[in-house]
Amino acid sequence: MKVFKFGGASVRDAGGVKNVLKVLEGEGINEKLIVISAMGKTTNALEEVVKDYLQKGQFNDALQPVKEYHREILLGLFENKDHIAFAQVRDIFQELENFLNHNRSTNYDFVYDQVVIYGELLSTNIVSTYFSSRGIKNDLLDARNCIRTDSTYRDAQVQWDETQAQIKLKVNPKSLTITQGFIGGDPNNFSTTLGREGSDYTAGIFAYCLNADSVTIWKDVPGVLNADPRAFENPHLLEQISYEEAIELAFYGASVIHPKTLQPLQRKEIPLFVKSFLNPGNPGTAVRKGQPILPKIPCFIVKKDQVLISLSSLDFSFILEKNISEIFSLFHKYQIKVDLIQNSAISFSVCIDNKFNNLEKLINHLKATFRVSYNTGVSLYTIRHFDEKAVEALEKDKKILLKQTTRETVQLVAIP
């Protein structure tokens, strides 16, 4: 069987949903598990619902556009306004509102997960009902019953044994299964999420547990490119790369694949294809074991809105292992994602991703022990397989705060 993943861009409107069916018909309907993300930018919109709810004590203003957006898609898919799809979507929104009206928790991460998962519940419900209306039999599976996690809300860790057992039990590999990306369930059956853009990872988990033949991630780009088309001109398609290369690219911030996706696939040597949902006949990118990058060209990655922190000891004594381990335990405590590290005798610099908005708390804590300076809003640029020309082109017009070169990779922390 094969696992397919369709992201938000592929189902951002009714035409997109229809196209998903077209792609699937081209590939064969059965023996597929398809993982679907929230439609378009729904997760962002639901993040606004959470913010309003916890900061202003109301959610209607932020929720209304989400309702209208999904209704618009339904109208494009079902001619008859009495179709059961409309009532189902109304019920899902009702369930969300019931949660918001009865919840007493002020724990941001907990509330966040209980709310944003509705994006995926809505999208999969709509796609499944649409498929059924077109005569395509499918099983709609609640991923929360399969992807079992701990209770680290917004960054839930998969409990592999239980997840494996539930997937074996609940998925029929012979038929067509539709399920949600990104979401899981904790031991108390509260909803959890695997981190933003985590649907790719869900596809990897299902593929691992089902010993799938392959995973295909369907994108609005031809495949993995040597540069993010939103940030760099004239990117080229990478026809093939190894798991290691894909992990490195994803880790440095190539947002085309979620970094956690590759590990489960690599362990079972399940190939990953990244292909265009607009041109499904084109080969896209193949990620497999050990194959060299083709073509071998420099790859450019940018992570925007990062923070560069520099620490030195208050008395200019050396920064030693003990300090470093103390610093890292604080990063762990405040869920700080570390991108790059550089240290000298008396200073320690680190580029971080302030994903969980805990920077202020971290800085205050660090100030107790260290002299701290930091720049927010910096960009981390990475070139894999660099050559001089590539580095020169990248350095032009930028204020470089830090540069690090290893055998295959150059990294720059720069403004902008």
Nearer CB in complex with ligand ASP: 195/280: 195
Q: Which residues contact 56 (CB under 8 A, 6 or more apart)?
A: none
- One of 2, 3, 4, 7 touching ligand ADP (CB under 6 A): 7
Q: With contacts defined by CB under 6 A, name the span among 184-192, 227-235, 329-337, 353-361 that binds ligand ADP.
A: 227-235
Nearer CB in complex with ligand ASP: 7/284: 7
Longest pairwise C-alpha distance within the chain: 74
- Kindly report the number of other CB atoms within 10 A of residue 35's CB atom: 30
3-state SS assignment for residue 14: helix
9 binds ligand ADP (CB under 6 A): yes
For residues 39 and 105, what is the distance between their CA atoms, to the nearest angstrom? 27
Out of Mg ion, ligand ADP, ligand ASP, none, what residue 196 binds, judged by CB under 5 to 8 A for its kind, is ligand ASP
> Hey, CA dihedral for 103, 141, 196, 159, is it positive or negative?
positive
E-only strand ranges, 265-408: 272-276, 285-288, 299-313, 337-343, 347-353, 370-384, 399-405
Per CB under 6 A, contacts with ligand ADP among 17-46 are 37
Give the shortest CB-221-to-ligand ADP separation in angstroms.
4
18 binds ligand ASP (CB under 6 A): no
Cross-strand partners of 176:
32
Per CB under 6 A, contacts with ligand ASP among 95-124 are 119
Nearer CB in complex with ligand ADP: 28/229: 229
Nearer CB in complex with Mg ion: 122/327: 122
E-only strand ranges, 170-279: 176-180, 183-185, 191-193, 214-219, 240-242, 272-276
107: left (phi over 0), alpha (psi -120 to 50) or beta: beta
For residues 84 and 82, what is the distance between their CA atoms, to the nearest angstrom? 6
- One of 51, 170, 196, 371 touching ligand ASP (CB under 6 A): 196
248 binds ligand ADP (CB under 6 A): no
16 binds ligand ASP (CB under 6 A): no
Report which DSSP code applies to 322: H
- Measured CA distances, 364 to 107, 315, 347, 372 (Å): 21, 18, 18, 9
Nearer CB in complex with ligand ASP: 198/298: 198
- One of 3, 8, 155, 250 touching ligand ADP (CB under 6 A): 8
153 binds ligand ASP (CB under 6 A): no
245 binds ligand ADP (CB under 6 A): no
Q: Using CB under 6 A, list all residues that contact ligand ASP.
A: 7-8, 37-38, 43, 119, 181-182, 196-199
Q: Using CB under 6 A, list all residues that contact ligand ADP.
A: 7-10, 37, 197, 219-221, 224-225, 228-230, 254-256
